[in-house]
Amino acid sequence: MSQVIHGSLDASGRRVDVVVARFNSLVTERLLDGAVNALEQHGVASDAIRTVWVPGAFELPLASRWLAREPDCDAVVALGCVIRGSTSHYDYVCSEASRGILSVSLETDKPVAFGLLTCETLEQAMERAGGAVGNKGADAAMTALEMLGIRSKL
């Protein structure tokens, strides 16, 4: 019989850092609330959650890298929101922020959860920040915890 590994969501004793983009803060503050609530509900002590605000989504990878390199950091949750405008700026920011977040995870061998909303409208973003579609900040936090659980079993 093959071995099957699932990640536990028990995060007791874990340290999780959350990096949040200040741009579109109406949305990102809600993502942060969702992430912190999810972390605390699964055993991360409130004093083991550090929140770092950065100017925008483009800065998420560098701040995530700084945090992930710290020995006491178990995982990082990167949260941001980019809403399409009338120029191609959206495409560049989304693409490079996404690539950078992935790169940090692979480079540091630590979970860096992707909580960057890439939406067409503010309405879509609000639906994903605690509205009809749920809270993607909470989802990103849960992803980080599940990946920690998987890593501990490998």
Q: Provide the annotated active-site residues.
A: 89
Other C-beta atoms within 10 Å of 107: how many?
12
Q: Is the dihedral of CA 85, 90, 94, 97 positive or negative?
A: negative
Other C-beta atoms within 10 Å of 57: how many?
28
Q: Is the dihedral of CA 96, 97, 99, 105 positive or negative?
A: positive
Contact of 24 with 83, CB cutoff 8 Å: yes
- CA dist 75 and 134 (Å) reads 22
How many CA atoms lie within 13 Å of 29's alpha carbon, on the beta-carbon side? 3
Contact of 28 with 77, CB cutoff 8 Å: no
